Amino acid sequence: MEWTPRSWEGKPCTQQPIYSDGNALRRTLDEIAALPPLVTSYEIEALKSQLAEAARGERFILWGGDCAESFADCTSAAIASKLKILLQMSLVLVHGTRKRITRIGRFAGQYAKPRSAATEVRDGIELPSFRGDNVNRPEFTVEARTPDPQLLLRGYERSALTLNFIRSLVDGGFADLHHPENWDLSFVKHAPLAAEYQSMVDSIGESLRFMETLAGGTISAMQRVDFFTSHELLVLAYESALTRQVPRREGWFNLSTHLPWIGLRTSDPNAAHMEFCRGIRNPIGVKIGPETTAEQLLSTIRSLASVTNDGCEEGRVVLITRCGAHRIGRALPPLVRAVRDAQLPVVWIVDPMHGNTETVVPTSGAWAGMSVKTRKFGHILAEVEQSFEIHRMEGTVLAGVHVELTGEDVTECTGGARGLSDDDLSRAYRSQVDPRLNYEQALELAMLIARRAAGR
């Protein structure tokens, strides 16, 4: 079948909002389609070549952010703190891995969420589930839960505002390696790992001064660090409105983000999300769970390669494995072997978050007796460690990590250097969706990855 930005409409499509006013939706989509793109094709191509380098072990990918962004969090403080934690983690990773790091944010468009049930029932009243800020509103009323096409436009604008601020901060020197003090978060001084972090900062500062003495000037490459954007590709009507052709380049680019990914719930190789991705030139992330079979995986990779090129372009297919610490040992090796033996060039990333979500019931504190969604730091770390080990055994490369984190001092995941317990969760639990690593846990994870990657 011939691919077009709307050929997905002929395929089974799940997880889509149902808009009651088709004309209003069309008008909004036409408006979005006429607006400038959020990213450019040359940025997308630069990311693709960095992903190819990471797949060869020459770089490491640090990919992180909130489970879902919210419109209310489009503030300077929230955006800056996300950049700060990613910058601090990448400094730690540079120090430990001696590799260049590519930073990808789950931001500037991570507004839509897949849901396991289409509706929610409260006190006998059934309403559509909340699907994220660019689809409907969280309050449990008919008006709030009715999908509103205008929110797609608001989401586009919030993405543009976020990106504009990120680009200005980066261009203005916020990410300059000479000034890591820009990235300090106020509570960091009390963190158990603050001293270890500071000694890495000092050692990188010394190396930088040494190199610059030799070079006889500042190394300008160190003054600019890029961020790429990503979000789960979910509302296909929105994504196709931002899918364009550009001068002097073949094919189509989804210019809503650099790196869209297909979630586990929409990854059927014969369905609409895969059909849409087949024809765009962006790198594509695909979530892989413990139930994915080698056969399905090979067919997914091959179908993603089919329109844009004959073989499979390096850096194009990004496999994000999220099996869970208890299942990865059995689930991942056969998948890795099948892809390796088929000689398909893919980028292997581990998401140690989504296979490790659990429900706990605190026994004391404000949430005693309630069910709370959390993740244990030990499980997250164990999945990362096993991923490194499995790829090492199979002769393949773990190119990076994909995590849900925040630069804030929240209590959503347990464990870590400060030993947060189930009873601590009520103290500062802010996520509306999945539990995120807090600032200290994120930095600790980076330190442990750096040690592991350095072979220590």
Instruction: Compare residues 148 and 434 and give the one whose CB is closer to Co ion.
Output: 434
Closest separation between CB of residue 67 and ligand PEP, Å?
A: 5
Instruction: Compare residues 62 and 67 and give the one whose CB is closer to Co ion.
Output: 67
Q: Tell me the residue length of the chain.
A: 456
Closest separation between CB of residue 434 and Co ion, Å?
A: 4
Interface region with Co ion, contact rule CB under 5 A, candidates 126-134, 220-228, 307-315, 427-435: 427-435
Partner from Co ion, ligand PEP, none binding residue 114, C-beta < 5-8 Å depending on class: ligand PEP
Partner from Co ion, ligand PEP, none binding residue 263, C-beta < 5-8 Å depending on class: ligand PEP
Closest CA to 425 of 373, 350, 356, 349: 373
Partner from Co ion, ligand PEP, none binding residue 412, C-beta < 5-8 Å depending on class: none
Closest separation between CB of residue 263 and ligand PEP, Å?
A: 3
Partner from ligand PEP, Co ion, none binding residue 416, C-beta < 5-8 Å depending on class: none
Instruction: Compare residues 53 and 404 and give the one whose CB is closer to Co ion.
Output: 404
Closest separation between CB of residue 264 and ligand PEP, Å?
A: 4
Q: Is 434 in the site for Co ion (CB under 5 A)?
A: yes
Instruction: Compare residues 154 and 265 and give the one whose CB is closer to ligand PEP.
Output: 265
Closest separation between CB of residue 266 and ligand PEP, Å?
A: 8
Instruction: Compare residues 67 and 445 and give the one whose CB is closer to Co ion.
Output: 67
Residue located via tokens 């503030």: 75
Closest separation between CB of residue 373 and ligand PEP, Å?
A: 12
- Which stretches of the chain bind ligand PEP, using CB under 6 A? 67, 114, 232, 263-265, 287, 322, 354, 434
Closest separation between CB of residue 433 and ligand PEP, Å?
A: 7
Instruction: Compare residues 64 and 149 and give the one whose CB is closer to ligand PEP.
Output: 64
Closest separation between CB of residue 199 and ligand PEP, Å?
A: 33
Instruction: Compare residues 78 and 200 and give the one whose CB is closer to ligand PEP.
Output: 78
Q: Is 422 in the site for Co ion (CB under 5 A)?
A: no
Task: Report the residue number whose CB is nearest to ligand PEP.
Answer: 263
Residue located via tokens 């690593």: 437
Name residues contacting Co ion, limited to 142-171 (CB under 5 A).
none
Partner from ligand PEP, Co ion, none binding residue 329, C-beta < 5-8 Å depending on class: none
How many Cβ atoms are within 10 Å of 376's Cβ, its own excluded?
Answer: 20
Partner from Co ion, ligand PEP, none binding residue 345, C-beta < 5-8 Å depending on class: none
Closest separation between CB of residue 78 and ligand PEP, Å?
A: 18
Q: How far apart (Å, rounded) are the C-alpha atoms in residues 312 and 346?
A: 8
Instruction: Compare residues 232 and 409 and give the one whose CB is closer to ligand PEP.
Output: 232
Closest separation between CB of residue 79 and Co ion, Å?
A: 19
Q: How far apart (Å, rounded) are the C-alpha atoms in residues 91 and 201?
A: 8
Name residues contacting Co ion, limited to 43-72 (CB under 5 A).
67
Instruction: Compare residues 68 and 170 and give the one whose CB is closer to ligand PEP.
Output: 68
User: What's the chain look like in SS3?
Assistant: CCCCCCHHHHCCCCCCCCCCCHHHHHHHHHHHHHCCCCCCHHHHHHHHHHHHHHHCCCEEEEEEECCCCCHHHCCHHHHHHHHHHHHHHHHHHHHHHCCEEEEEECCCCCCCCCCCCCEEEECCEEEECCCCCCCCCCCCCHHHHCCCCHHHHHHHHHHHHHHHHHHHHHHCCCCCCCCHHHHCCHHHHHCCCHHHHHHHHHHHHHHHHHHHHHHCCCCHHHHCCCEEEEEECCCHHHHHHCEECCCCCCCEEECCCCEEEECHHHCCCCCHHHHHHHCECCCEEEEECCCCCHHHHHHHHHHHHCCCCCCCCCCCEEEEECCCCCCHHHHHHHHHHHHHHCCCCCEEEECCCCCCCEEECCCCCCCCCCCEEECEHHHHHHHHHHHHHHHHHHCCCEEEEEEEECCCCCCCCEECCCCECHHHHHHCCCCCCCCCECHHHHHHHHHHHHHHHCCC
Instruction: Compare residues 133 and 434 and give the one whose CB is closer to Co ion.
Output: 434
Applying CB under 5 A, which residues contact Co ion?
67, 434
